[in-house]
Amino acid sequence: RSLLKVIVLGDCGVGKTSLVNQYVFKKFREQYKATIGADFATKELEIGERVVTLQIWDTAGQERFHSLGVAFYRGADCCILVYDVNVPKSFETLQHWHEEFIKQADLTEPEKFPFVLIGNKVDLEYGSTEIVSEKQAKEWCSCRGNIQNFMTSAKEDYNVDASFLCAAQLALANEDDH
C-alpha cells in the first residue's frame, strides 16, 4: 500500500481545482472559486496489483505561493503543471513553476523527476485569441526531459482520468526507485 503525493501547479484560473474536483468527486462548478490556502484531496486507485492512495495537493496562483512554503513541496512524488490552452501567458509562466518546483523540492536530478503537463479547457475556443498548440506543448516537454503531455477539459471530463492515472503511475515508479 502506497501513499503518493502529487502536487498541482500553474497560474490562478487555469483550472487546477476543477481538474482535481472532476477527478476525485466527478463534479464541475462553473463559478469561479479561488482556492483557499493549500489543501489536498485523496483518491484510492488500483495500478496493476497495487492499491495506491493519491494525495493531490492543489494551490491557488502565484500570489499565495510564498505562504505555502516547503511543506507543500516536501515529499512530492509527481508534479502536474497546468496551463489554459486559451491563455498563452499561462503557458509561458510554466517555466517559472517548473523551476520553482525543482528548487523548492530540492531535486538533485530534475530530468528524472516525473512531471505531467496538462493543457486544460480544450472545450473553449476564444475566437481571435491565439491559442497554445499541442505542438508547442510537446516541444516544451521534450527539451526538459521525459515529461508526459495531456490536453484536457475539466468541464467535459475529457482526459482527466488519463492524466491523473499517468501521474499516479509515474509517481509509483518514482517511489519504487528509492
Q: Which of 23, 113, 120, 167 binds ligand GDP (CB under 6 A)?
A: 120
> For 98, phi and psi rounded to 5 degrees?
-60, -50
* Cα 177 from Cα 172, distance rounded (Å): 9
Stretch that binds ligand GDP, among 37-45, 118-126, 143-151, 162-170 (CB under 6 A): 118-126
Q: Does 30 bind ligand GDP (CB under 6 A)?
A: yes
94-104 and 62-73 helices, crossing angle to 10°? 30
Q: Which of 124, 141, 151, 165 binds ligand GDP (CB under 6 A)?
A: 124
Q: Does 155 bind ligand GDP (CB under 6 A)?
A: yes
* Cα 143 from Cα 34, distance rounded (Å): 32
Q: Which of 4, 7, 9, 18 binds ligand GDP (CB under 6 A)?
A: 18
Residue 123: helix, strand or coil by DSSP? coil
**Which is nearer to ligand GDP, 98 or 172 (by Cβ)?**
98
- Determine whether 164 is exposed, middle or buried from the number of CB atoms within 10 Å of its CB (0-12, 13-18, 19+): buried
Q: Rule CB under 6 A: which residues touch ligand GDP?
A: 10, 12-18, 29-30, 32-33, 35, 60-61, 120-121, 123-124, 153-155
